[in-house]
Structures are given as structure tokens and as C-alpha cells.
Copies of this chain bind each other. A is one copy, B any other.
Amino acid sequence: MSELVRFGISAEKGLLDKFDCLMRERGHTNRSKAFSDLVRQELVKKEWIEGREVAGAIIMIYDHHKRELVNKLMDIQHDFNKIIMSTQHIHLDHDNCLEIIAIKGASAEAEKLADALKGVKGVKHTTLGMSSTGREI
């Protein structure tokens, strides 16, 4: 963690009041923390767009009854073993599984993996939760 620096910001009073309001609604109480969060949000978007090393998770819903599905998902995950750190599997109901794959690596690879999983018959929905390794933010 780098040292803290303090600096001044000018803003219209009306806007600042709304900022404070927004913070309180979200349960936050600290302008400095809220400022840093807004900045980090922009930096994480940039890491993904620029193809930097990122972290995040692929969230996937599938019907495990589909023939061959589990084997195919396993094969694809092994092809991308360099960016997969761990997986979490939840039996949502008799048919549906929620599988969450924690990833760390180049953003383009993460997107390729999400696409490959999405293509498998029986996979109903995938979404790529984009976060950061935290090192640069």
C-alpha cells in the first residue's frame, strides 16, 4: 500500500450534497473512500479494455442432464488451466447448476474462455464478472 496524500477538490455545493446523499444511501460514510472507489472503477474498466492482466470470475448456469456436457466443460477448463484458479459448484435444483470459475490472466484469454463455455450445449447463461488483480489499483 502506498502512502496517503491529501489534496483539495472544489465542487458546486448542490452537487456535493447529492454526492453525500448517494454515499449514505449506499451505506458509505467517507468521501475519500468513495472518491477512490470511483477512480478504481474506471481503472478496472481500462485494464480489461487494454488487455492487461486481470482477475474476475465466469459465472455459468447449466443443466447437468445434457449428454456429454460435464465432460466438455471439463475439457475446456483444462485447455485454459493457466488462467483458472479454482471453481465453485452449487446444485441449484434438480436440473440447474451454478458454476463459478475464478480467473486471473490476460483479459482476452478470459473472454475466450467465457465464449468457449457459452458454446456448449446445455449451458444456459454465462457472464464474465470483471475485476482486477488489485496490484495496479
Contacts and interface: CB of A to CB of B under 8 A. Distances in A.
A110 to B, nearest CB: 12
A7 B6 contact: no
Contacts of A6: 8-10
Interface string A12-23: 111110110010
A35 B37 contact: no
How big is the A interface, by class? 35 or more
- Stoichiometry (number of copies): 4
A97 B132 CA distance: 10
A66 to B, nearest CB: 8
A35 B61 contact: no
A26 B59 contact: no
